């Protein structure tokens, strides 16, 4: 059942850390507080300096606390999709009680059975999401509790991610004095929150154009099927402007925000503005078309990469088309340019909340929407992963409320039983890749760290 209560979400982005406090009544949220603090310590979507990230989190949280008039103790945190893997998970148990009526414990136990799997030592399970249950061969059951049977089976999905990324997020949040109520894979929350039922069912793509990375994610059959992370975003556009025009990064950012157009065919050559150029005393005149051509080139490159990966999994012609969001989707002409590149219907998503009608807030709002709408079955299954007991699961839905004790939601992330180490020789080596990225000064060359579906989604759009 959708929740009622106060929920706080946190989105740790490359450009800024965002916090929203939402007051939910039956799953419908009203935003009562917002925080937005400039990031440092985050590079290409990933935390690279915990201390600096903590400062930004504290600032954003303090702003949101002041506006909402509450003390924030716990947050639902978005995790970037970098190297997240989605795997099918199935489990089966004998029903526990003598009456053979299925209880909360059985749901938890069948989820625990579904969690039994081999996982590489550098990876961690983030979430288990039940999709349907089967009782004695009768399938398609959404909530088996109260029903009777001998054998209970569960089908769902498990999200795993690199321990380093997950650890850094947890550590930064906890050092900022907050409890991690839940980790949520951001593009999953985003798609759940912004796509309508038809788009989720028949299929749609959401492209989150952030500052440091662009995430292309696909939903189909009401399930998160695919995500690809391109570690290039709006900040690359700014850097391109800075390099080409010989302007400071701040001037380049201002030019982009004030005069930028993503589709050069919409820009005018007669519209001219002065630009402060490094090493020159007098400003140099630059026309709108020229600036737009610089911007367009980077957006085209970003879109071409998304197009290529979507083409590879036959997801380009999904009926829901493409939805653009994220801060870098604010630029005029972005829909026109994307429509030309993708050759499918494209629209932009802008949150419809007073004061934050800005696509940069789409993710953070989606995270609290998503969490508030998670049902008891999800929480019971997740309890099999985290070791929460059912009463605590219920308490977890209220933790964002004023004065909620932090201990209420700090649960150790225990690995599910029988999760063991397997050979990682064939896996991408995250550490080597990270070292390469962070040591790489050639910033304008985006590196590619994708999100993998373990085989099963690749043929789904044929
Ligand atoms: N009006 C605008 N025109 C063009 N770009 C914009 C505009 N407003 C914001 N941006 C760009 O949006 C980007 C920030 O977007 P967002 O806040 O979604 O990123 P983030 O979540 O902090 O980063 P990431 O998701 O990549 O880690 C910056 O590159 C910024 O320049
Ligand atoms: Mg972002």
DSSP string, 261-299: -S-GGGS-SS-EEEE--TT-SS-EEEEHHHHHHHHHHHH
Q: pLDDT (tens digit, 9 = 90+) per residue, 288-302?
A: 999 999 999 999 999
The Å distance, Cα 174 to ligand 2 centre, comes to 20
Q: Report the candidate in 211, 272, 277 with the shortest Cα–Cα distance to residue 244.
A: 277
Q: Which of 53-62, 75-84, 433-442 has the lowest mean pLDDT?
A: 433-442
Question: Any idea which residue has 């060359």 for tokens?
Answer: 445
Binned at pLDDT 50, 70 and 90, residue 190 comes out as very high
Q: How is residue 226 annotated by DSSP?
A: E
330 lines ligand 1 (CB under 6 A): yes
36 lines ligand 1 (CB under 6 A): no
Answer with the residue of higher pLDDT: 353 or 403. 353
Average pLDDT score over the chain:
85
Tell me what pLDDT residue 2 has.
61
Rg over CA atoms, the chain: 23
Tell me what pLDDT residue 1 has.
59
The Å distance, Cα 360 to ligand 2 centre, comes to 7
Q: Which of 23-32, 119-128, 313-322 has the lowest mean pLDDT?
A: 23-32
Tell me what pLDDT residue 395 has.
29
Locate all alpha helices (DSSP H) within 150-233, ordered by sequence. 163-175, 186-194, 197-202
For residues 255-265, give the mean pLDDT: 97
Locate all alpha helices (DSSP H) within 42-176, ordered by sequence. 50-68, 104-114, 163-175
Tell me what pLDDT residue 388 has.
61
pLDDT at residue 73 is higher than 70: yes
Which ligand does the CA of 13 lie closest to? 1
The Å distance, Cα 82 to ligand 1 centre, comes to 18
Burial of 341 (C-beta count, 10 Å sphere; 0-12/13-18/19+): middle
Which three-class secondary structure state does DSSP give residue 272? strand
Tell me what pLDDT residue 423 has.
19
Rounded CA separation 184/268 (Å): 43
331 lines ligand 1 (CB under 6 A): yes
Range with top average pLDDT, 24-33, 384-393, 424-433: 24-33
35 lines ligand 1 (CB under 6 A): no
Tell me what pLDDT residue 136 has.
97
Which ligand does the CA of 16 lie closest to? 1
Tell me what pLDDT residue 26 has.
80
If you take atom 15 of ligand 1, which residue's CA is the nearest one?
Answer: 327
Antiparallel, parallel or unpaired: β 452-453 and 85-94 = parallel
203 lines ligand 1 (CB under 6 A): no
Dihedral angle over CA of 358, 360, 364, 365, nearest 10: 20
Characterize 199-234 residue by residue with b for buried, 16 or more Cβ atoms within 10 angstroms of its Cβ, and e for exposed.
bbbebbbbbbbbbbbbbbbbbbeebbbbbbbbbbbb
Q: How is residue 414 annotated by DSSP?
A: P
pLDDT at residue 461 is higher than 90: no
Tell me what pLDDT residue 397 has.
33
If you take atom 3 of ligand 1, which residue's CA is the nearest one?
Answer: 331
pLDDT at residue 146 is higher than 90: yes
156 lines ligand 1 (CB under 6 A): no
The Å distance, Cα 84 to ligand 2 centre, comes to 16
Which three-class secondary structure state does DSSP give residue 202? helix
Backbone φ, ψ for residue 182 (5° rounding): -160, 145
321 lines ligand 1 (CB under 6 A): no
The Å distance, Cα 165 to ligand 1 centre, comes to 21
257 lines ligand 1 (CB under 6 A): yes
Six-digit token pair at 89?
A: 């998970």
Task: Please identify every residue whose CB atom is under 5 Å from ligand 2, which is an ion.
Answer: 13, 210
The Å distance, Cα 332 to ligand 2 centre, comes to 19
Binned at pLDDT 50, 70 and 90, residue 4 comes out as confident
Which ligand does the CA of 36 lie closest to? 1
pLDDT at residue 460 is higher than 70: no
210 lines ligand 1 (CB under 6 A): yes
Tell me what pLDDT residue 307 has.
98
Of the residues 45, 59, 187, 211, which should be mutated to test ligand 1's pocket, given the most ligand atoms within 8 Å of the CB? 211
The Å distance, Cα 191 to ligand 2 centre, comes to 14
327 lines ligand 1 (CB under 6 A): yes
Six-digit token pair at 84?
A: 């997240």
Which ligand does the CA of 233 lie closest to? 1
Backbone φ, ψ for residue 320 (5° rounding): -75, -5
pLDDT at residue 416 is higher than 50: no
Which ligand does the CA of 48 lie closest to? 1
């Amino acid at each position: 059942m959708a929740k009622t209560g106060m929920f706080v979400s946190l989105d740790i982005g490359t450009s800024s850390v965002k916090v929203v406090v939402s007051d939910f009544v039956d799953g419908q949220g009203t935003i009562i507080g917002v925080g937005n603090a400039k990031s440092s310590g985050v590079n290409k979507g990933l935390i690279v300096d915990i201390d600096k990230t903590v400062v930004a989190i504290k600032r954003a949280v303090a702003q949101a606390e002041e506006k909402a008039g509450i003390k924030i103790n716990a947050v639902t945190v978005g995790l970037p999709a970098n190297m997240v893997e989605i795997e099918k998970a199935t489990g089966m148990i004998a029903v526990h009680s003598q009456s053979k009526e299925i209880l909360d414990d059985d749901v938890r136990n069948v989820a625990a059975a579904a969690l039994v799997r081999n996982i590489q030592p550098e990876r961690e399970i983030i979430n288990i999401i039940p999709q349907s249950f089967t009782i004695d061969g009768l399938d398609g059951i959404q909530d088996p509790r109260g029903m009777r049977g001998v054998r209970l089976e569960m089908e769902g999905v498990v999200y795993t991610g690199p321990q380093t990324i997950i650890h850094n997020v947890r550590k930064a949040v906890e050092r900022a004095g907050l409890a991690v109520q839940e980790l949520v894979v951001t593009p999953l929350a985003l798609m759940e929150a912004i796509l309508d039922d038809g788009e989720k069912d028949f299929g749609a793509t959401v492209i989150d154009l952030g500052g440091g990375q662009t995430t292309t994610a696909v939903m189909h059959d009401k399930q998160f099927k695919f995500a690809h992370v391109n570690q290039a975003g709006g900040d690359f556009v700014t850097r391109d402007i800075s390099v080409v025009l010989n302007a400071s990064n701040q001037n380049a950012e201002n030019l982009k925000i004030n005069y930028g157009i993503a589709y050069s065919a919409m820009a005018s050559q007669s519209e001219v503005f002065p630009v402060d150029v490094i090493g020159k005393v007098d400003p140099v005149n630059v026309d709108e078309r020229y600036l737009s051509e610089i911007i367009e080139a980077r957006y085209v490159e970003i879109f071409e990469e998304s197009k290529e990966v979507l083409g590879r999994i036959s997801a380009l012609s999904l009926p829901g088309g493409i939805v653009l969001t994220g801060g870098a989707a604010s630029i005029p002409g972005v829909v026109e340019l994307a429509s030309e590149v993708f050759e499918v219907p494209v629209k932009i998503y802008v949150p419809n909340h007073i004061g934050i009608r800005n696509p940069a807030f789409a993710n953070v709002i989606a995270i609290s929407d998503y969490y508030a709408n998670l049902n008891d079955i999800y929480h019971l299954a997740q309890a099999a992963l985290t070791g929460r007991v059912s009463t605590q699961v219920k308490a977890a839905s209220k933790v964002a409320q004023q004065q909620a004790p932090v201990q209420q939601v700090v649960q150790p992330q225990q690995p599910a039983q029988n999760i063991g180490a397997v050979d990682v020789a064939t896996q991408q080596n995250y550490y080597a890749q990270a070292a390469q990225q962070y040591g790489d000064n050639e910033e304008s060359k985006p590196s590619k760290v994708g999100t993998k579906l373990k085989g099963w989604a690749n043929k789904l759009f044929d």
